[in-house]
A and B are shown apart, each in its own frame.
Chain A
């Protein structure tokens, strides 16, 4: 099974400053069809997860453009260009290239 590892596990940030979360997979996430099925989810306190980014870098409907995803192969990054108060929560990467789907441990983003 593929293991997803996120760093850092906690990220205190100042409002208006950028934040970056790293996600590394134990195997390449490039599927035989050429796509990379890596997504990012946000979970605000007391809420269910919400899809932010799919296939590495594509923002889901309604997601602000301050969120961006990048990476390739086994190394991926989620960036928030300017953190706002509503961005507080836990962020998860998830791979769907190979069964079973797997999530990272989560990175808690909080305001300093």
Chain B
């Protein structure tokens, strides 16, 4: 079964750090581009970051640039998001999402269940 499972969320104080992980299974992880998408409580979806299949190309949303770092370990079938200098407005459910095959036109075809990050004192 194709699956993405996030972990690492929790409660952190403003200015703190957290590292999220996304474990992939059921597909050849190293062949796919990956993304992080977040959803603040009661709000819509916001794209956060992208990483190419090899890890050589990375993009960030302006709202997290300079504070968050995306990475991957293809040998471990895992995607990561290192979050530093966290702010209250970073409070959200964080999803990892797979960029689909070429024919899907970069649609996000597989999503994890999400992990909740709460930034509060």
B100 at the interface (CB under 8 A from A): yes
A92 at the interface (CB under 8 A from B): yes
A52-69 at interface with B (beta carbon < 8 Å): 54-55, 58, 60
Nearest residue (CB) in B for A35 is B105
With A48-B114, A60-B109 already in contact, the answer to whether A55 and B104 are too (CB < 8 A) is yes
Chain A residue numbers with a CB within 8 Å of B112 are: 48
Instruction: Report yes or no: A101 in contact with B105, Cβ–Cβ below 8 A.
Output: no
With A39-B105, A99-B59 already in contact, the answer to whether A51 and B47 are too (CB < 8 A) is no
Chain A residue numbers with a CB within 8 Å of B61 are: 100
Q: Which of B104, B107, B113 contacts A48 (CB 8 A)?
A: B113
Instruction: Report yes or no: A96 in contact with B107, Cβ–Cβ below 8 A.
Output: yes
Q: Which of B50, B61, B105, B112 has the most CB of A within 10 A?
A: B105
A50 at the interface (CB under 8 A from B): yes
Convert A20-47 into 0s and 1s, putting 1 for each residue whose CB lies closer than 8 angstroms to a CB of B.
0000000000000001110101010000
Taking the nearest CB of chain A, how far is it from the CB of B19, in angstroms? 20
Interface residues on B, range: 20 to 34
Instruction: Report yes or no: A103 in contact with B105, Cβ–Cβ below 8 A.
Output: no
Convert B93-104 into 0s and 1s, putting 1 for each residue whose CB lies closer than 8 angstroms to a CB of A.
001010010001
Convert A93-106 into 0s and 1s, putting 1 for each residue whose CB lies closer than 8 angstroms to a CB of B.
01010011111111
Instruction: Report yes or no: B105 in contact with A94, Cβ–Cβ below 8 A.
Output: no
Instruction: Report yes or no: B46 in contact with A54, Cβ–Cβ below 8 A.
Output: no
Instruction: Report yes or no: B108 in contact with A49, Cβ–Cβ below 8 A.
Output: yes
Instruction: Report yes or no: B106 in contact with A101, Cβ–Cβ below 8 A.
Output: yes
Q: Which of B47, B50, B108, B109 has the most CB of A within 10 A?
A: B108
Instruction: Report yes or no: A49 in contact with B105, Cβ–Cβ below 8 A.
Output: no
Chain B residue numbers with a CB within 8 Å of A105 are: 44
Please, how many angstroms separate the alpha-carbon atoms of A39 and B35 in the complex? 16
Q: Which residues of B contact A (CB under 8 A)?
A: 35, 37, 44-47, 50, 59, 61, 95, 97, 100, 104-114
